[in-house]
Structure formats: C-alpha cells, structure tokens
Amino acid sequence: MPASKRDQLLATAERLFYEQGFHATGIDRIVAAAGVVRMTLYNHFASKEALVAAVLKARHERFIASLDAAMAVAPPGQATRALVDAHGRWLERYSQHGCIMAQAMGEFAEHSAEIHALATAAKADLLARIEAAVVRDGLVPHAGLARRLFMVLEGSNTAVVILGMQTALADTRAVTDALLAAARSETP
C-alpha cells in the first residue's frame, strides 16, 4: 500500500521544515518535492499554519511513542536510564541538526500562538515523561531531579551540532548517570 498523498505531504514538509526552517520553506517547494499539486495540499490542510501544526503533532507523537516503548521494556529501577537512552537514539536517527520544536517556538512566537503552544506542550510532555520515569524508579523524593535531567537532554540537542553526535551522547550519558547516582545514593 503506497503512502497516501497526505502522508507524502507530511513527510516531505517535515523534512523541508527541518532542513530549511519554516518560513524559509514555501508551499511551492513542498508540493514540488512531494510530487503533488498545489490544490492537493489545500485539500488536506486548511493553510500552511495547519500543515506546520500537523507536522509537529505527528512528529511529537512518534517521539513520545518511542520514549514510551523504551520505558515499557525497561528493567525495574532503569526506567529513567532507558528514557535517556531512547532520547539519544532519537537524536541519532531524526534530530542531528537541532530540535525542530525549539525552532518552531522561535519562528512562531509572535506569529502563531497555536504553533508556539504546540511546541511548548511538546517540551512539557518530555518533562512529564521524565518525571514519570523518576517516580517509577523510586527517586521521587529528590526534588528537581526530573527538571535537571530535562535540562541536560535539552542541552544535548545543541551539543550534537557542536560536539558531534557520539561525543554529545557520551557526555549526556555521563551527566545523567552522575545525577542518577547522586540521587540513588541519597535515597532512603
């Protein structure tokens, strides 16, 4: 079963938005790269803004699903570590040039409240997943641990571009391991 035109548009738009930015990517280039015609896009999406929102929503759902899948098979006490590793695998496969949600937040901050809120909610979702993992690992009494892990994972988004993928992932693991070890050693 070949991908529907709508899926082709979503995949192509996601790639172009990520590689070239949102405002710098015109409708014409998207439909040309997707091999469809202009009206096909507007038949599936009300506007460019709606297309951007759909792209971000779909990408975020895939991201969250990969985190949840990793946590679901994590051994007891290893949920947080499994989540950090899953985040690293996501960077390796889909996010080598920075975070598309952060990019969207910047480009639409004063241009589309809906998209800005969507991207912000995606970040908040990641934080919530980290909090859930910390709770599952019994590390809940350590206030702020989830927030600090979140900050490190956010930093790794930029670090991969400057330090290179392998170095950034190794450093991410080192910092998160240190935070987790400290929290565990203080757990009653």
Q: How many helices (H) and strands (E) does the chain have?
A: 9, 0
Q: What are the structure tokens assigned to 147, written together?
A: 């927030």
The interaxial angle of helices 27-34 and 5-20, nearest 10 deg, is 130
48 binds, among its own copies, DNA, none (CB under 5 to 8 A by kind): DNA
- Which amino acid is it at 175? V
Radius of gyration of the chain (CA): 18
Name, in order, each residue with C-beta under 8 angstroms of 105's C-beta and a sequence gap of 6 or more: 116, 119, 120
Query: Rounded to the nearest whole angstrom, what is the least distance from the CB of residue 111 to DNA in the complex?
Result: 11
Name which of 111 and 147 has its Cβ closer to DNA.
111
- Of the pair 5, 116, the CB lying nearest its own copies is at 116
User: Which residues contact its own copies by CB under 8 A?
Assistant: 19-21, 23-24, 97-99, 102-103, 105-111, 120, 123-124, 127, 144, 147-148, 150-159, 161-163, 167-168, 170-172, 174-175, 178-179, 182
154 binds, among its own copies, DNA, none (CB under 5 to 8 A by kind): its own copies
Unique residue bearing structure tokens 């991201």 = 63
Q: From the list its own copies, DNA, none, pick the one residue 167 interacts with, judged by a Cβ distance below 5 to 8 Å according to partner type.
A: its own copies
Q: Which does 138 bind (CB under 5 to 8 A by kind): its own copies, DNA, none?
A: none
Residues within the interface to DNA (CB under 7 A): 4-6, 25-29, 35-40, 42-44, 47-49
Neighbouring CB atoms inside 10 A of 11's CB total 15
Q: What is the DSSP letter of 75?
A: P
DSSP for residue 73: T
The residue among 11 and 40 lying less far from its own copies, judged by its C-beta, is 11
Choose the one of DNA, its own copies, none that binds residue 157, judging by a C-beta under 5 to 8 angstroms depending on kind.
Answer: its own copies
Q: How many CB atoms neighbour CB 145 within 10 A?
A: 20
State the nearest-atom distance from the C-beta of 40 to DNA, in Å: 4
